[in-house]
Amino acid sequence: MGAFIEAIDLHKTYRVGKIDVPALRGVSFSVEKGEFVTVVGPSGSGKSTLFYLLGGLTRADSGRVIMDGDDFATLSDAERTRMRKRKIGFVFQKFNLLPTLDARSNIAIAQEISGNGDRDPAFFLRICDLLGLTKRLNHRPSELSGGEQQRVALARALVNKPAVVLADEPTGNLDTENSNIVLTMLRQSNQELGQTVLMITHNPEAAKFGDRIIHMRDGLVVKPEEDPQWSPH
């Protein structure tokens, strides 16, 4: 199998007042189709910036992101938006649910936005059942626990069967039980649907759910022993 996602010499610097703050300083790696990769590193290592670049949510100062043969650098904003809608499912630490909609509608809105017309009611119900949401679909976010809200957000990311799932600290606000539910579902979607999953986390236990771990520090990919916050035990 060839690389499904390629990050090639990515650089990104933010301007904070009069100071340039480098977030990525030449990051390169590849992810194969169907692989579950976790990215770990201390706060400020560049993990979230990498997430936004891989999702086409922002552009690199230099370097390239290639996903399924499409080079983000050559796509217009409209083309990148279309690609995000059809190929990528996003899961964030903040649930980003619409407060006026119930859980069912918060999940279904992903189908509306994608515009690909490929709806699968049976799959919708299967995802909700696996995530323990079947009896909570008529409740609004304010009526759901934090764990339930994150499971709704995960269902929303998976319902269109995206080729890629990008998850940024998906268990950061959850207790152990709900963290395990979300991580198990990500693993299951990876194995059963063949989805390529890239998950950013600061939690070593969560990172072990993946096939492979990429370590970051100071805007670079480093060896595990160069990441002081990583403990294999």
pLDDT at 60 over 50: yes
Q: Which residues pair with 124 in a beta bridge?
A: none
pLDDT band for position 30 (cuts 50, 70, 90): very high
Distance CA 77, CA 82 (A): 9
Domains of the chain: 3-93+163-226 (3.40.50.300)
- The single-letter DSSP state of residue 99 is T
Following CA atoms 147, 204, 186, 155 in sequence, which dihedral angle do they give, to the nearest 10 degrees?
30
pLDDT at 88 over 60: yes
CA gyration radius, the chain: 18
Q: Where are the alpha helices (DSSP H) in 90-175?
A: 103-114, 121-130, 146-158
Q: Where are the beta strands (DSSP E) in 47-110?
A: 62-67, 70-71, 88-91
- Residue-wise pLDDT for 42-59, tens only, equals 888 999 999 999 999 889
Between 95 and 183, whose confidence is greater?
183
Distance CA 83, CA 165 (A): 13
- Residue-wise pLDDT for 190-200, tens only, equals 888 888 999 99
Distance CA 233, CA 231 (A): 5
CB-based contacts of 233, cutoff 8 Å, min separation 6: none
pLDDT band for position 230 (cuts 50, 70, 90): low
Return the pLDDT at 122: 87
pLDDT at 155 over 80: yes
pLDDT band for position 233 (cuts 50, 70, 90): very low
- End-to-end Cα, the chain, rounded Å: 32
Distance CA 19, CA 161 (A): 42
Secondary structure of residue 159 in the 3-state scheme: coil
* Highest-pLDDT range among 117-121, 149-153, 169-173: 149-153
pLDDT at 75 over 50: yes
Stretch among 93-102, 116-125, 127-136, 139-148 having the lowest mean pLDDT: 116-125
pLDDT at 117 over 60: no
- Residue-wise pLDDT for 159-218, tens only, equals 888 899 999 998 888 888 888 888 998 998 888 888 899 999 988 889 999 999 999 999
Average pLDDT over residues 126-141: 91
